[in-house]
Amino acid sequence: MPELAWFDRAGRRQGSIPGTVEPNETPVISPDGGRVAFGVNKTSPINPDTSAAGSEVWLVTLADRSTTVLPDLLATDLDWSPDGSQLAIASGQRELDSGNALRDGRTYLYEPSSGALRSLDATAGTYHLTWSPDGKRIAYQARDVLRVIDPVTQSQQVLDTGAGAIHGIGPVWSPDGKTIAYQRLLGSGERHEVVLVTPGDTTGGTPAARESVIPDLQLDTQGSPWHIYPFRVTWSPDGRYLLYLAWSTEPSVGVLAAAVPTDAAKPMLVLPELAGLVPYDGYDDTSFVPIQTWGRRPAS
């Protein structure tokens, strides 16, 4: 039977909710560690074959297992605000668009203290999102456009109009809140490059924010060259590395995990190949949801 279980930092099991739901949007723990939110979708959020009607977002208080259910939301991404006062939900509405895409997906903000749920109407098409570490902005990917928005004023900035990706977890803020990492397709096929962009920095002389690209050709600590293309990317807690779950064109490599430095002068660290690692998603026969592998630790 499916269950939702939680553990302390020593790996000790603290509790569970058995046999009630099968979360299929990755559970996210609130910053204070007191709540967990997840999607209970009746269809795949990656390749929906029905509308958002009937799907739900659940919020469970771990101390007493009390549950709040938000109906008719097919969650494609979830993220708590840094202070835990709001949950951001990327979801489509009830009707479908062409190609089984959820029509008019957008960002919803839920406030547990009041029970208020509101939508950011300027975020039509949202699929992935992430709060800035200071809680003042949300970066979101809508179709192939990457933007940041102020959730209070809804003023926003376009960061990239070619941010489409087949795989990935969407934009991810650096721990210091200055830089966003995201994946961008390299032509046809499934090769992605990783882009670092600084919102508000237009020193390049154009309205677009300044960006830099992490080269796909990397040297490891032995000086050997690798061409690596990520399925997904997250930041290390100190912001010095990006963790790739990736594939390589080098012979006999397959899937690997690597810590790629943001300083191009430093070598990447190839981590031991993980047996049975399945880091990809997005195919017609899967309901896998991208998992943020290296993320924020809940507060003590």
Looking at residue 33, its pLDDT comes to 87
| The domain over range 1-164 is classified in CATH as 2.130.10.10 | yes
Looking at residue 140, its pLDDT comes to 93
- Ranges of the chain whose pLDDT falls below 70: 1-12, 14-26, 44-51, 92-104, 201-209, 251-254, 272-300
Looking at residue 285, its pLDDT comes to 46
Looking at residue 94, its pLDDT comes to 45
> How far, CA to CA in Å, does 62 sit from each of 3, 29, 30, 42, 197?
14, 10, 10, 24, 37
Looking at residue 6, its pLDDT comes to 63
Looking at residue 178, its pLDDT comes to 92
Looking at residue 7, its pLDDT comes to 64
CB atoms within 10 A of CB 189: 9
Q: How much is the pTM?
A: 0.81
Looking at residue 275, its pLDDT comes to 44
Task: Quote the percentage of the chain above a pLDDT of 90.
Answer: 29
CB atoms within 10 A of CB 176: 11
* Average pLDDT over the chain, rounded to an integer: 79
State the span(s) of the chain assigned CATH 2.130.10.10.
1-164
Give the DSSP per-residue string, 71-125.
ES-EEEEEEE-TTSS-EEEEEE-SSB-GGGPBTT-EEEEEETTTTEEEEEGGGTT
Segment (H or E) for 38: strand 35-40
Looking at residue 175, its pLDDT comes to 92
> How far, CA to CA in Å, does 288 sit from each of 10, 231, 278?
27, 13, 9
